[in-house]
Amino acid sequence: MSYQSRKQIILKILEEKGEAEVKELAQQLDTSEITIRRDLGTMAADGLLFRTHGGAMKLSLVNQPVSFAQKSNMNASQKEQICRLAAAEIQEGDVIFMDCGSTVFKLCDFIKNKRIKVITNSLPVVYELMNTEVEINLVGGEIDKERQAVHGAVAQEHLLRYHADKAFVGVGGISVANGLSAVSEKEAEMTVGMARQAKTTYLLCDASKLETTKYLQFASLSLIQVLVTDETNDAILAPYREVGLRVLN
C-alpha cells in the first residue's frame, strides 16, 4: 500500500476516533509499526495531525485545552451511546442549542450531515462543526480559556434573542430529590438560559451523574423534559419517569 493510501486511512481513523496508537494503526493497515511511525512523522510535519507519545491525535482536539480533550474522551462509549439517541431526535431544519459540556460535544459526530442551525457557547463545538452542513451561531461574550467556552452577561443577553426547537445540555449532577446541580455558576447560568429559550430541553447525562449532587443546586427537574442516559437499571430510572421526564436509554 502506498503512503498516500495509508495517509488517507490514517486521517479517516483519526477523524472518527480522535486519536490512535501506532500499534493499532499498524494492525489496521497491515503494515509495520516502523512504517506507521515514519508516516505519522511526515504527516505531523505537513500539519495534518498532532504527534503524541505512542500515536497521533487529530488537530481539532489539539485546538482545545488538554483537560477538555481528555474529559471528552472519558466514558467515550457511554457518551457515544447517549449522543446517538439524542441525534435521532434532531430533524432537518431544527434550530438547537448546544452547551459546552463534554458529552454534548460528542453530539457533533452525529449531526455533521444534518441541515440544522446550532447556537452554542462552546468553541470546541464550533471547531468540530465548521465546514459541515451545520450553520453555526456562536454566542458572544467573554471566553473562559480553560473551558474554551463563552460566558457572562453579554452571553446571556445573546441567548435571549433566539428561540430554539431543542436544547442539549449537560450538568454536574442530577437527582430526583435535589434537581440539577453544577460545579460552576457560569455554566449553570448558560444551562438555564438555553433551557428557557428552547421548546424542549434534553439533558445528556451518563450514569455516573445520576443521583449525585454537586455544590451548586441551580434548578429543579422541571427545567428539562427529556433525560438521555446510558443507564439501563430501571430501578434507578423509574423515579425520573414518575416525576414526568421522558427517559431515553
Between CA 132 and CA 135 the distance in angstroms is 8
Q: In this structure, are strands 216-219 and 173-175 parallel, antiparallel, or unpaired?
A: unpaired
**Which residue ranges make up each domain of the chain?**
3-62, 68-248
Residue 198 in grid coordinates: 428552547
Q: Distance between alpha carbon 119 and the CA centroid of its chain, in Å?
A: 14
Percent of the chain past pLDDT 90, that is, above it, reads 64
Grid-cell match 476516533, residue found: 17
Between CA 249 and CA 243 the distance in angstroms is 17
Give the pLDDT confidence of 204-245 residue by residue, as tens digits. Answer: 998 889 999 988 999 999 999 999 999 778 899 999 999 999
**Fold annotation for 68-248:** Rossmann fold (3.40.50)
**Fold annotation for 3-62:** Arc Repressor Mutant, subunit A (1.10.10)
Between CA 134 and CA 112 the distance in angstroms is 6
Residue 119 in grid coordinates: 447556537
Comparing CA positions, the residue from 208, 217, 146, 159 lying closest to residue 185 is 217
Sheet harboring 179-182: ordered strands across? 173-175, 179-182, 216-219
Give the pLDDT confidence of 39-70 residue by residue, as tens digits. Answer: 998 888 777 887 877 788 887 665 555 455 55
